[in-house]
Chains A and B, each alone.
Chain A
Amino acid sequence: MESVGLFPVLALSAVLFATGVGGVLTRKNALIVFMSVELMLNAVNLSFVAFARHTGAVDGQVFALFVMAVAAAEAAVGLALVILLFRNRVTVSLDDLDLMKG
């Protein structure tokens, strides 16, 4: 990777992150929003791994592993919530969920 350097990896991470943000902000389907969040998490993971490679220490990779574990937990709970939501409202459209309206 010496011929590539750090910058392109981080740029890829930024692009993926921004794509995820765009998905979170624009899609109505809760599952797709959820997947966009996963995309953002992976973008961050990429940064961790890139920095780990840059410093030569392995800590960044350990962090990436932790993020994956937390993402797994989050996916389990989040998907359970989506199921619960669908069972009660027969929709997964976020636009229909405004019970917290002030």
Chain B
Amino acid sequence: MNRKKVAVYGVILALIVAIYALVTGLSNAGVLNSYYSGILIMVCINIILATSLNLSTGFLGQLILGHAGFMSVGAYAAALFTLRAGLPDSIDFPIALLVGGLTAALFGLLIGIPALRLKGDYLAIITLGFGEIIRVIIINLDFTGGARGLRGIPRETNFSWVYLLAVLTVAIIFAFIHTRHGRAVISIREDEIAAEASGVNTTYYKLLAFIMSAFFAGIAGGLYAHHIGILNPSKFDFNYSVEILVMVVLGGMGSITGSVIAATVLTILPEALRDFSSYRMLAYSVVLICVMLFRPSGLLGQYEFSLTRLFGKLSGSKGNKTTKNPASGGEKGA
């Protein structure tokens, strides 16, 4: 079993490297112009956002409506860090991303403590309120550039960085879900009372998952800030939070594979269908309602893509013992 695991991880790593090599090769050869690589960067950023939201909404079962708010906190914190800290270029970018993630996590902690102590849907309301308030505050503050936006952020995000971080995010969240802590988080989704009765500290695990979510949203924000170069507070509105939520819901609440696929498709599709952009949110809302009505767990449900299972099927051996939640499964990045 152990050797098999090593082999699976090796194949996953090889796949990840192969995709990276393919994309960089194509862009070096000039096949991918800057427009396309810009879209690819947004794909990776949205993958980070969708998988991190999936941790709270899909695995923990708490609806969060202010994910864009955490992203904006991270974006502003990271951007202000690179603009003000004056560190040399080579090291300031990773530190800025970390600062962005930690700031977002801090906000997550402050919001999560009152909201998560309670049962029910208060987190949805509070995060929604937070997303709106943080925008108002950013517009009214001086050092964030106000409504004009924050300009002149060095554009240090490139495909290597976002790809690395997207892979890392997916890997960390996937690994987290399969630890003892991850199972505690899932048990809260399944039945909070039963989880509490079995000795799971529900408030602690809710906070943990929520803060992790916020942290990765902050990182995505930092990447976004250094990709676009200009931060405009109105970008991070309720609609953007909903867009991320649609990715999670459509892909499947509790399926990281689903989030990755949905984030990829829903980032590329609007670019391809620019002529219909005024109908986009209308279509999203109809999709949300229909998916909830007819397939409440999302298109992929809790299905995860698993290399082990695939190998098992291909070789026809009995190796496909891993059924629903592949503990030894693999996760394909991007």
Q: State whether these chains interact.
A: no
Residues of A within 8 A of B (CB): none
